[in-house]
Structures are given as C-alpha cells and as structure tokens.
C-alpha cells in the first residue's frame, strides 16, 4: 500500500472511529444519567410513593398543572380538602414539582417539595402587576407559575405552582462535562494511536536508510538494504540499494585501475631501464677501451642503435595507447569492401621480407563484396600487430599463417591463425592487457612490448567490434576481430549480382 493511500485511510479513520466511539459512549452515559427518570424515581435519597390512579392520565407536568388549574377554577373547594391535597402532593412530587395554596394572605397548604420557612414572603415578590397566569424563574433551580382563584366563600386566593428543574439540570451538569471529556479522550487516543502507527511505518524505514547511509559513509559497502516494501519508501530503498551496488562496483574498478596504473608504471620502468642499462654498458665499454678494434666499436654502436630503436618503438606505442585511452586519436572512417582490403593486405604480407619463410593463405567464405565503415590506416595497424605477435611464437620450420573472412547478417569476422607454440589456457584472458607478456622473463626481443594486442583491442572497439582469442598448446593460436556491416549491404550484394549476370 502506498503512503498516500495509507495517509488517506488514516485521515478517514481519525474521523469515523471517534464518531462511532463517541456515539457509543454518549448512549451509555445517557442511559446512566437519564435512564431512571421514568417510573418511580429516587429523589433526595427516598423512594417516591406511587402516583394516585386519579392522576395517572396526566403523563407530563404541563397536563397535570392544567388539570389542577381547571379544578381550581370550577371547584375551588377541593383545594381545602386534605385528602385531595395529599393526592395532589403525591402526583406533583412524582414530577418534581409542588404547589402552594394561599388564602387571605395566608398559606393554607404547601407541598413538601417546596415548603420552607418564609415561603410566603418569598412568593409575595411575584404579587405585582404581572397579571393572571404568569410564569417566571424563581431561582437557579425552580420556576414559579401563579394562578389567582376565588373560593366558594368569595374570598380571594392564589395558587402557586413551583417546578423543580434540578433533576434534569443537575444530571445535565454531570452529563455534559463527562461527555466533553469523553470526546477529548477519544479524539486524543484515536488520533494519537493512528498517528503513531502511520508515523512508525514511515519513520522506521527512514531510520534504516539513515543507518545504511552511515555505514556507507564509514566505508562499509557490503551491508545490504532490504526494506521489503511496496510503497514510495520501498522504491527509495531499491534506488539506494542500486546506488550502493554501483558505488561498490565503482570503487572496485577504481582500485583495479589503481593496481593497473601501478603495474603499468612498473612495466614502463622495467622496459625502459633494460635498454638504457644496455646502452650505458656499451658506452662504458667504448670509453674504457674494451672496444679496442673497429669491429668491436661497430658492434657496440649497433647494439646502442638497436636499444635506442627499441626504446623509441616502446615510447611510440605507449603514446599511441595513451591517446587511444583518452580518445584523442582521430579516426577517419570510410566505406570500403573488406574483402578487397584484406586481399591487398595479404599481398603486401607476401612480399614483406620478414614473411619470406611464412606460407600465407587467404580464405573467403563469401562470394560477394562486404562493405564496412573503417579507418584504413588503423585497421592495417590491427592486422600488422596481430601478425607481429604470431611471428614471435611460430615454429622455426613450416611456418604458416591463415587469414579467413566470414560474415553473417550484422557483422564480418576476420580470423588470423598461426601454427605457433600456442598459449596456455590460463594466459588467454590477459593477452589483451597492457604490458602483459606470456613470457615471464619480459624479454623485449622475444616477447615484444606487451602493448601490441592492447592497441588492437582499442582500435577494434573504436570501430564498434570486439576481439577474441583461441589457442591450443603445440597447435597454434587464432586471434579474431569483428566489424559491423554497413546497413546498405543488401543493395551492394544486389548490385554485384546484377553485374555478374551481365
């Protein structure tokens, strides 16, 4: 589940869960506070007496008071009947109310609920110009309603109805604060819990990412980060893990490059120091008079020339390889027929003095021109470096060299095969490395500079191809390279076939 969906669901839960819990708690509190306000209630710690059957038809306070007013108007004598007044007290006590009967400025009856010392003096404040049938609030817990009456002896009197609001208001005073506190508690607990759960699901993996970053900062690149999540943080974790792997690989390559650089410097130092040492020895021999004849002096001078030439050749190849690494050698690509080009190269090799004891074969598996885009000079350098490498390890007698051309739909393959001593299987993966020589002695006379095949690899890769090697001890070595075919090869083939038909 994504973080966005998780947050949306948490927001919905933060609204729905408090509403549902609040409704349940409100219902329970209402049942506790108001569930006993029907039937016989407990008031002032005493169980009320059952209501008289005479008044059971009055189901609320308003109807009861209206009924008493009607009786007082048409039969005021009942207000002087003790039994009637007791029944009325029971009925009014049931609804938390009471009444007071005043005749000739004297209280003749007061319900137990409202009876108190100085009652009439308190009620006299309502005997103003209020008119008949007024109703007013008496205090914070009671209201008073006044009704003027005339008794049978034509004396004036007053009927006061006192309604006690305390049962409901008192319970509301306890109910509302508890309800409000319950609401605050529900909102606080629900939102706090949901916020903790959601934030924990986000913060915990962030801490994991932080610790992983700290380990990488300390150089530990082997600690794998596995969040196992399908949300945005999981995607960040995957990107972080990919970054860690690439950083680890980059550092590994950097260390490998550093080792190669050190080895390169060591090899250059060795290969330059050897001819310099030979030159110094020849010079000392001439200066010390060891070369006391013209023949010896000529021999020493020839040795100096060969050493200098070897150094010059090494420096040229090193400079070329360095420029190839830095991609500072310009390539002049042109479209050419690789078949005709190889045939010309083979003809040049056959007249080369170095190849006088070598039998050269050319095999072409195609019967039509094959066009590639190549730099003629650089491609010739590739072929000559491979041939030079083959010459060093050929047998003394029966030397043969085969140049073979094959192709498929996308590329051509040039294979140069010799019948030399072959190369060990363990050595093959390294023959295209800089300064690598199969001969442990690193003799430049028999092993070359160790840069020729490295240059071959660079040039072929700049052409968009690749190099490979196969070898068997005692049978010979085959070095092959590929070149991509031009896209309009089919047109060339069709044109060649058309000319052949004519």
Instruction: Render pLDDT for 429-483 as a digit per residue (tens, 0 to 9).
Output: 888 877 666 554 444 444 456 678 888 999 999 999 999 999 988 888 999 999 9
Closest CA to 134 of 121, 148, 120, 122: 148
Instruction: Examine the pLDDT at 188 and tell me if it is beyond 70.
Output: yes
Instruction: Examine the pLDDT at 262 and tell me if it is beyond 90.
Output: no
Strands (E), 315-368: 334-337, 358-364
Task: Report residue 222's pLDDT band, with 50, 70 and 90 as the boundaries.
Answer: confident
Task: Report residue 164's pLDDT band, with 50, 70 and 90 as the boundaries.
Answer: low
Percent of the chain clearing pLDDT 90 (strictly above) = 15
| Mean pLDDT of the region 301-315 | 85
Instruction: Examine the pLDDT at 131 and tell me if it is beyond 70.
Output: no
Cβ-contact 483, 412 below 8 angstroms: yes
What domains are there in the chain, each with its CATH number? 3-36+172-208 (no CATH), 49-164 (3.30.450.20), 232-324 (1.10.287.130), 330-501 (3.30.565.10)
Closest CA to 165 of 83, 96, 118: 96
- How would you classify the pairing of strands 46-47 and 476-484? unpaired
| Mean pLDDT of the region 157-182 | 74
Instruction: Examine the pLDDT at 167 and tell me if it is beyond 60.
Output: no
CA dist., res. 5 & res. 13, Å (int): 12
Which of the residue ranges 106-110, 112-116, 287-291, 357-361 would you say has the lowest mean pLDDT?
Answer: 112-116
What is the phi/psi pair of residue 372, to 5°? -130, 165
| Mean pLDDT of the region 174-190 | 84
10 Å Cβ neighbour count for 161?
Answer: 22
Cβ-contact 317, 288 below 8 angstroms: no
CA dist., res. 371 & res. 373, Å (int): 7
Distances from the Cα of 398 to the Cα of 189, 193, 355, 356, 420, angstroms: 96, 90, 12, 12, 10
Average pLDDT, the chain: 78
CA dist., res. 338 & res. 465, Å (int): 14
The structure's pTM equals 0.50
């Amino acid at each position: 589940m994504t973080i966005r969906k998780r947050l949306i669901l948490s927001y919905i839960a933060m609204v729905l869960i408090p509403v549902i819990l609040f409704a349940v708690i409100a219902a329970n509190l209402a049942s506790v506070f108001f569930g006993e306000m029907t039937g016989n209630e407990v008031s002032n710690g005493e169980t009320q007496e059952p209501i008289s059957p005479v008044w059971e038809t009055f189901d609320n306070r308003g109807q009861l008071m209206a009924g008493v007013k009607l009786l007082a108007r048409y039969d005021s004598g009942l207000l002087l009947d003790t039994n009637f007044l007791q029944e009325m007290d029971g009925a009014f006590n049931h609804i938390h109310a009471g009444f007071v009967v005043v005749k000739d400025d004297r209280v003749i009856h007061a319900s137990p609920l409202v009876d108190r010392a100085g009652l009439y003096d308190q009620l006299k404040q309502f005997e103003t110009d209020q008119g008949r049938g007024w109703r007013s609030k008496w205090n914070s817990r009671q209201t008073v309603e006044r009704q003027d009456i005339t008794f049978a002896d034509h004396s004036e009197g007053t009927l006061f109805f006192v309604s006690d609001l305390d049962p409901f208001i008192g319970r509301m005073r306890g109910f509302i604060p508890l309800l409000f506190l319950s609401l605050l508690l529900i909102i606080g607990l629900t939102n706090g819990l949901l916020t903790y759960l959601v934030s924990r699901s986000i913060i915990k993996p962030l801490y994991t990412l932080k610790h992983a970053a700290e380990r990488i900062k300390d150089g530990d690149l082997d600690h794998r980060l596995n969040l196992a999540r399908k949300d945005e943080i999981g995607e960040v974790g995957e990107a972080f893990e990919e970054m860690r792997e690439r950083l680890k690989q980059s550092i590994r390559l950097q260390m490998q490059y550093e080792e190669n650089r050190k080895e390169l410097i060591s090899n250059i130092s060795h290969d330059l120091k050897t001819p310099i040492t030979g030159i110094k020895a020849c010079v000392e021999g001439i200066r010390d008079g060891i070369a006391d004849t013209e023949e010896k002096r000529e021999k020493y001078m020839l040795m100096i020339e060969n050493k200098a030439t070897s150094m010059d050749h090494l420096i040229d190849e090193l400079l070329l390889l360095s420029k190839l690494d830095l991609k500072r050698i310009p390539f002049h690509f042109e479209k050419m027929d690789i078949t005709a080009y190889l045939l010309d190269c083979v003809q040049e090799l056959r007249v080369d003095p170095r190849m006088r004891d070598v039998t050269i074969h050319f095999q072409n598996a195609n019967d039509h021109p094959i066009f590639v885009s190549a730099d003629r000079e650089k491609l010739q350098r590739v072929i000559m470096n491979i041939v030079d490498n083959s010459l060093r390890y050929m047998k003394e007698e029966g030397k043969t060299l085969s140049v073979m051309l094959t192709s498929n739909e996308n590329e051509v393959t040039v294979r140069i095969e010799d019948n030399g001593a072959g190369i060990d299987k363990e050595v093959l993966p390294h023959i295209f490395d800089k300064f690598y020589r199969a001969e442990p002695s690193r003799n430049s006379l028999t092993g070359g500079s160790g840069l020729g095949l490295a240059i071959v690899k660079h040039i072929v890769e700049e052409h968009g191809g690749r190099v490979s090697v196969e070898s068997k001890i005692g049978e010979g070595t085959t070095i092959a390279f590929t070149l991509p075919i031009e896209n309009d090869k089919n047109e060339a083939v069709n044109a060649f076939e058309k000319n052949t038909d004519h």
